[in-house]
Amino acid sequence: MATSATAYRQAFTYDWIGNRSTLTEHNVTDPTKNITYHSGYGTTAGNGATEPVTTQPHTLAWVSTTPTGSGSAYTYDPAGNTTKRDLANDTQNLTWTSENKPATVATGATTINYTYDTGGRRLLENSSEGSTLYLPGGELTTDATGKITKATRNYAHPGAPTVVRTSDGSSTGHTRNIQLANHLGTANTTVQMAANQPVTRRAFKPFGEARGPQPSSWPDRRSYLGVGIDDVATGLTHIGAREYDQANGRFISADPLLDITDPLQMNGYSYAKNSPISTSDPDGLKPATDCGSGCQDGNFVYRDWMVPDGKEVGSTVLKAAPSPMT
């Protein structure tokens, strides 16, 4: 439900290979305040004697705005991983592992290090300000001294809301919240299981950007799709196999899977075929289909605890529900 504070209107255009060409943010009350973001792609080289050649045509090179305002620029390694994000108010330098996972992100005076398990899942996030240990269904966060400052546990059940249990270690810091999600799994309402049952709401635009005023606190760091882990330091969202940039509606590294039978999936960086209202990409590898990526709950919704075809994620194994005809 949109209110005056969360009302929005966006318009997009794309080039012939699925790159976003423009995004226009319409001011819902004053069209003279509309802002258009223009995007450029690839690296063009030529010496005047030969035809210009564009390499890495799917990589986002720059974003500018109309009316004139702050823009951004991006550079990549030969594998197509983003190595530098020159943003309006920040410059981020990234290094990558041999498996094309972010190893470090340096932003300002802070460097964040990431460690992964043998399956490529993020296990540890560490910086001079503290660490976060990612466990199946939960997280442990510490400060710079190693003291645990927050523990989070998610309880998800087929066809039911997710319950989030948190504790800051104090006698009064234990809470339980019920999270209510939209059709894509993004929780936009949370109800605290307390005497007065306080309700907190938040809203998102189609590609996951915050829409309207955001609450001062939320039970956990999972936002977009219910699986995306917000990284406050970088502004990115960790979704499965890759890092997602909501502002540009695309991943910052190339898709390790390529489906040559579907032209809409041939762009190595696009999110969910550029159709985020009706489609999602909860594992960072491929857009979810009705039953190809986890509709075992019968509601065609992919959750953090769902896996396709009974495959293992963390310590949880799900099997597809038996057919009603058997």
Is 75 part of a structural domain of the chain?
yes
29 conformational bin, left if phi > 0, alpha if psi -120 to 50, beta if neither: alpha
Is 280 part of a structural domain of the chain?
yes
Predicted confidence at residue 117, as pLDDT, reads: 94
Residue by residue, pLDDT tens for the chain (326 residues) are 456 789 999 999 999 999 999 999 999 999 999 999 999 999 776 665 666 777 899 999 999 999 977 899 999 999 999 999 999 889 999 999 999 999 999 998 899 999 999 999 999 999 999 999 999 889 999 999 999 999 999 998 777 789 999 998 787 789 999 999 998 989 999 999 998 999 999 999 999 999 999 999 999 988 888 889 999 889 999 999 999 999 999 999 999 988 888 888 889 999 999 999 999 999 999 888 655 444 444 444 444 434 444 343 333 333 333 333 33
Is 135 part of a structural domain of the chain?
yes
Is 2 part of a structural domain of the chain?
no
Domain count, the chain: 1
Predicted confidence at residue 2, as pLDDT, reads: 57
Is 322 part of a structural domain of the chain?
no
Is 301 part of a structural domain of the chain?
yes
The HSE-up count of residue 223 (CA atoms within 13 Å, CB side) is: 26
In CATH, what number is assigned to the domain containing residue 310? 2.180.10.10
Rg of the chain over all Cα atoms, to the nearest angstrom = 21
Question: Is 188 in contact with 203 (CB distance < 8 Å)?
Answer: yes
Is 127 part of a structural domain of the chain?
yes
Is 1 part of a structural domain of the chain?
no
Q: Which two tokens stand for residue 292?
A: 């190809």
For 162, the domain range is 9-317
